[in-house]
Amino acid sequence: MSIKVLIPTPLRPFTDKKDMVEVEGATVGEVLANLTSEFNQIRQHLYSEDGAFRSYVNIYVNDEDIRYLAKEKTVVSEKDTISIIPSIAGGVDVDVQEVESEIQLSNDEVLRYSRHLIIPEVGMDGQKKLKSARVLMIGAGGLGSPVGMYLAAAGVGKLGIVDFDVVDKTNLQRQILHSTRDIGRSKLDSARETLEGINPNITIETYETRLSSENALSLFTDYDVVVDGTDNFPTRYLVNDACVLLGKPNVYGSILRFDGQVSVFDARRGPCYRCLYPAPPPPGLVPSCAEGGVLGVLPGIIGTLQALEVIKLLLGEGDPLIGRLVLFDALKFTFRELKLRKNPECPICGDSPTIHTLIDYEQFCGISKSGISQQPAADEKTEITVEQLRARLDNGEKLFVLDVREPREYEIVNLGATLIPLSELPKRVEELDPSREIVVHCKMGGRSAKAAAFLRQQGFKNVKNLVGGIDAWIDKIDPTLPRY
């Protein structure tokens, strides 16, 4: 019996880039066993060494999580679809400030919001709720741009924005809060200027700081709803835990390439993010937008949905996405909705929580404070700097330089190295000469570190990872090369 298995973007390199495969099996366990037999490289991403499912990967049959069915013994038929969902990065009462009788809309505001006022579910009372509401946005980037613009336009009275970055040219393909003239400028200054231009009647509070365990609770306390526009797992878990501890709704969005996710996590009424993903994936498994790319309009779609969910929460109207995860595939233009359940064993919102304070989220996600995967201290046997590589090449040394990026990245810029993408390396390892000294590079050093470690496991004695990748080469050796 053949069962359809939907493969998410991060795992497609291990299924010959297929987004759907048909696999034989009568139960989920049999189907996935046959899947990993056919595509051996995917096994380590689905199962731990003891054979259990990874905690950062969820398996669904149609729209039901198998953790709440019969797990791997769940019976399937030809009409069923199995989905692999890894982590990527009725009306509800929200503790919005009481709408005081003295809160009024000016004539200018009545005119500005007139299309809201004639909607029965909004009206004057609803618009006053929006005016009295306080929403905190984490990030002023791809997701934060549409969220901020639509919440400002809608008349949300106070918008808080947490960010510490500056505008980069690579941001402009999707971060529509900012323009070419803002390059090098604080994102918060640029965002404030844009949002005040959209609606001068609202208050904008900016926090130019990195969100941390030390400041999250104090920053979140004065806001009614928190919008997660982050792009990394430590901050995503930090946002979740702070919201759970304070009893705040967390409007979640995540994007990669052509795929998007959106949900509302509110532990008072449903699951939290940890219920869905108890633990993060290992560093490097899920590529960042800088390495994996993102379609420019995708954050506009997902961010707009986040803004919609915020407004519904503030108005107390409709059915927010609590207990539901929406998946969007831009290439196929399909929306899928999966049911989420509260995990009674969740360490922060379950029946017997073990997390009562904020923790070290970089350590929890296997990331050091500098953002590099935790690993033994590097030495000259495992790494090489771009300056060292340049000097050795200039001296005529016969180093073999291996590029493990994707062909589309190689086409943008390359160092003339041999290209074998990381996903193809296990199948093409015999093309390499173990007797030669090999220097492996990628864009920033993450994928090449994994490739170098793999080659050492295969018996290669002299393999070095290029620190900082081709980005470091452009920064320190040849700034004339194109950057992406």
Q: Are strands 158-163 and 134-138 parallel, antiparallel or unpaired?
A: parallel
Exposed / middle / buried, residue 382 (Cβ in 10 Å: 0-12, 13-18, 19+): middle
* The one catalytic residue among 289, 346, 349, 365: 289
Cα 9–Cα 12–Cα 16 angle in degrees, nearest 5: 155
* The one catalytic residue among 272, 346, 365, 442: 442
Count the alpha carbons within 13 Å of 260 in the hemisphere toward its beta carbon: 27
Q: What does the alpha-carbon distance between residue 306 and residue 147 come to, in Å, rounded to a whole number?
A: 7
Q: DSSP assignment of 128-179, as one string?
A: HHHHH-EEEEE-SSTTHHHHHHHHHHHT-SEEEEEE--B--GGGGGT-TT--
**Alpha-carbon separation of residue 465 from 63, 282, 347, 443, 456 (angstroms):** 42, 19, 37, 12, 11
Has 243 been annotated as catalytic?
Answer: no
3-class SS of residue 28: helix
Q: Where are the beta strands (DSSP E) in 216-356?
A: 225-228, 250-256, 259-265, 324-329, 334-339
Has 289 been annotated as catalytic?
Answer: yes
Per-residue b or e along 7-19, where b marks 16 or more CB atoms closer than 10 Å to that residue's CB: bbbbbbbbbeeeb
Q: If we measure between CA atoms, which residue out of 296, 319, 324 comes closest to residue 85?
A: 324
Question: Order of strands across the sheet with 203-208?
Answer: 203-208, 158-163, 134-138, 225-228, 250-256, 259-265, 324-329, 334-339
Q: What does the alpha-carbon distance between residue 25 and residue 36 come to, in Å, rounded to a whole number?
A: 12
Residues labelled as active-site residues: 289, 442
